[in-house]
Structure 1
Amino acid sequence: MTGPRTTARSTGRTAARTAAGAGAVALALALSGCAGAASDAEADAKSGADGKPPTAISVNLQGTRAKAGAPVKVTLAEGKLTEVTVTDSKGGRLAGTVSADGRAWTSARSAAPGTAYSVRAQDDQGGTATAEFTTAAPELVNKVTLAPGDKRTVGIAQPLSLVFDHPVKNKAEVEKHLKVTTSNNTEGSWGWMEDWSGKSRVDWRPKEYWKPGTKVTLDAELNGVDSGEGGGWFVRDYPMSFTIGKQQVVKVDLGSHRLKLFRDGALVKDAPMSAGTPGGEKASWGGTAVLMSKEGTVNMRSETVGLGNAYNKMVDYSMRLTWSGMYAHAAPWNSAHLGSANTSSGCIGMSDADAAAIYEAVQVGDPFEITGDDAKGTVALNNGYGAWNLDWSQWQAKSALR
């Protein structure tokens, strides 16, 4: 059989030699898998002045349904490659390197599924050749939801968090393509878990709270990576950058019934509060929770958190701390117990004025450190952002690359 039509032409020094009658050196693409049969370009080249066959190269991917997920490799039979360019139909380019002996070029990243590629190679004699191939379309595409979002300013406890639409079985391979860079070389690690929604999720947190002003960049170079069985392919990259804001910590003491906001280590707000009723499901969670969102006025209904018809209220200054429904918010209906007893249905309630002040001051990503014997347990790893409730070695063990 014959391979797909390729083109070859002599340029530079080769063209000069042809003009001088010294014989042409043409570069042709003989696609691997078509050995034993000359391509059109090779056949044309054999009619050169000296009758010599062209120098041959092979490309590991070919045809219209090439397998995605592998690097593109161009191999030269004789001479040395000086330049190889691989571009896709959208104008993207695969970077790569030539081997030390000049005989092979390999792309740094894998070919993505459902993508048409053009290859152009040049040898040390100035000969050039081109070829094209298309990878098979993916049967299933995996997508990613990122937090905290691009170009945001967040608190010192905010992790990077990726939640995947479909299961990720190839966790180590995916993690290899998640690159975090920071402006001050912050030490951190990825950790895998099942999200509260039941989906695959991976978070990156620093060893210690972020330093204010840190610039963080994520390059999730996932295009062309296979999630594994049942997960499908990624067909795009996911970049994100954000900045760490003020150094703020909220300390909630369930025993003294106080919520205190510290900035740069100094107390800036001390508010009486009432947390969850101890001894049952209405108790508050303890440990470190991270402020997930500032949601303003929220209709809170007890049936959504498994507490029957205990309440149905419009609640102001709502600050979400967990997926399971623990908030800090205004609770003027509980004014008799603010600062003296924990009698809420699990949330941390304050007066309207105090809740408004806290709501205005806090940043998404600020840690709420909740202590006291009235807690019903520790915020789980996937119940919002519970990674700070693991020590550093425990967190590192969650990485697929450890």
Structure 2
Amino acid sequence: MHAVPRRHPARFIPALVGAAGLLTACGGGATSSKADQPAAKVTVTPAAGNKSAKLGSAISVRADGGKLTSVEVKDDKGGKVTGRLAGDGTSWTSDGKVGPGTTYTVRTKAKSTQGKESSGTSVFTTEQADKVNKLTNTPGGGQTVGTGMPISILFDHPIAKDRRAEIEKALKVTTQPKVTGAWGWVKDYSGKDRIDWRPKDYWPTGTKVSVNGALSGIDSGAEGGWFARDYNFGFSIGADHKAVIDVPSHTLTMYENGKNVGTITGSAGSPQDPTRGGVHTVRSKNAAETMDSATIGHGSEWMLDSKWVTHLTASGTFLHSAPWNKSIGVVNNSHGCFGMTTSDAKKAYDFLTIGSTVEVKNTSNPNKTDVGNGLEVWQESWPQWQQRSALHR
């Protein structure tokens, strides 16, 4: 039996040392790691902890020494604030401006140039506004309306002329299929400021319309105050129903998709009070209503109950039943409305939807109806309408 020779462990020490040197070289230095590297410096404006951040500015996020990988901003009502990340990834800016009296939470994620990931949360609150402006939109969200319906936005408070361009830019209309149209500034019959959007031509049946108003944080002027939130709504275009009133022949003819589907006789305005001409848009309807002479400047001459009332102008041009009129279809003797038998008034009422158009032809009334006297956007030609835009060049 031979003795097994002993191996001295010292023989392997140089090899182990060599291996350790090789790992260190691959690692880039024995004391280097991502944990030891500085994180990207992320700055949010307005600053965190601010209790009265100024209005009229956007929210911005900047990363120094790295790039932003995620920015999420929400207001105190849970609403998401959208924004855009710069192409190089170093900054993010909100699409809109901060609204009054609102607390915002900004959550960020970033990666440094050495690859270190970091996250942070910043919270700030904006100052209160002395006055807040609000709006009422027509049509209402989810409605189906006629092919002549404009988008009409009525403001609670005045809009300064030097603020109109910015407000108009913040209002976006998206349609499917694509429809050409434009915004125009209007003085409503109530005296309030209004902005309407009308298509160049009547809407195609079946059009889907979305309106996005990124108004939060926009100043409408000293008398109007600030907008406190964004407004978004949508509606659809229904059947193509139109009517044409020919004053001398005492008739109202209904058209569906351009096809004559029936004619009604009635009485238009007298020579003393001729019916307003041009294309009117049906703005509202009432199944029953009391006709009060005082509302159209005739004092206390009459107070009559009528049914199936279709409203055209805000000043009182209506289609309605006139059971008291014994000359329907024979003499034009109303005070500007188009009166019919009760059964015929119901036919017109049922056929004409909100947003349908009624064209009055061959009237002796020379006066053009003001656009704000109802939804009278079709009283003007397309070039005339375009002049109403604050962005028109």
TM-score for the superposition, normalised by structure 2: 0.86
Query: 8 Å contact 2:40–2:110 — kept in the other structure?
Result: no
1:156 aligns with 2:147: yes
**Which residue does the alignment assign to 2:193?**
200
Q: Structure 2: how far apart are the matches of 1:199 and 1:390?
A: 20
**What displacement does 1:250 show?**
0.6
Matching of residues 245-394 of structure 1 within 5 Å: 245-279=238-272, 282-336=273-327, 338-394=328-384
Structure 1 residue runs of 4 or more that deviate by more than 6 Å after TM superposition: none
Maintained 8 Å contact 1:283/1:376: no
Bigger shift: residues 313-322 or 76-85: 76-85
Q: 8 Å contact 2:219–2:225 — kept in the other structure?
A: yes
What are the residue-to-residue correspondences of 1:135-214 with 2, within 5 Å?
135-169=126-160, 170-214=163-207
- 3-state SS, counterpart of residue 129 of structure 1: strand
Structure 2 vs 1, CA of residues 100 and 238 (structure 1 numbering), >3 Å: closer, same or farther?
Answer: closer
Counterpart CA distance in 1 for 2:137 and 2:268 is 31
Q: Select between 381-390 and 106-115 the one with higher mean Cα deviation.
A: 106-115
Q: Given residue 368 of structure 2, which amino acid in structure 1 is its aligned partner?
A: T
* Match of residue 91 from structure 2: 104
> What SS is found at the alignment partner of 1:354?
helix
Across the aligned residues of Structure 1 and Structure 2, the Cα RMSD in angstroms comes to 2.0
Pairs aligned (count): 356
C-alpha distance in 2, partners of 1:164/1:382? Answer: 13
CA distance 1:114–1:246, change in 2 (3 Å)? same
Unaligned runs of 5+ in 2: 1-26
Match of 1:333, SS state, is coil
The equivalent of 2:16 in structure 1 is none
Q: Does the 8 A contact of 1:179 with 1:218 survive in 2?
A: yes
TM-score (normalizing by structure 1) = 0.84
Q: What displacement does 1:21 show?
A: 6.0
Alignment identity in percent?
40
Task: Give yes or no for the alignment of 1:223 onto 2:216.
Answer: yes
The alignment partner of 2:227 has SS state of: coil
Unpaired segments ≥5 residues, structure 1? 1-16, 26-48
CA displacement at 1:96 relative to structure 2: 2.4
Query: Which deviates the most, 144-153 or 85-94?
Result: 85-94
Moved more, 389-398 or 226-235: 226-235
Using a 3 Å threshold, how does the CA distance of structure 1 residues 21 and 119 change in structure 2: closer, same or farther?
farther
SS in 1 for 2:95: strand
Looking at structure 2, the residues matched to 263 and 177 of structure 1 have their Cα atoms a distance apart, in angstroms, of 36
Q: Secondary structure at the match of 2:228?
A: coil
CA-CA distance at 1:74 after TM superposition: 1.7
Residue 19 of structure 2 corresponds to which residue in structure 1?
Answer: none
Q: Does the Cα contact within 8 Å between 1:72 and 1:107 map onto a contact in 2?
A: yes
Structure 2 CA distance, aligned partners of 1:107 and 1:255? 59
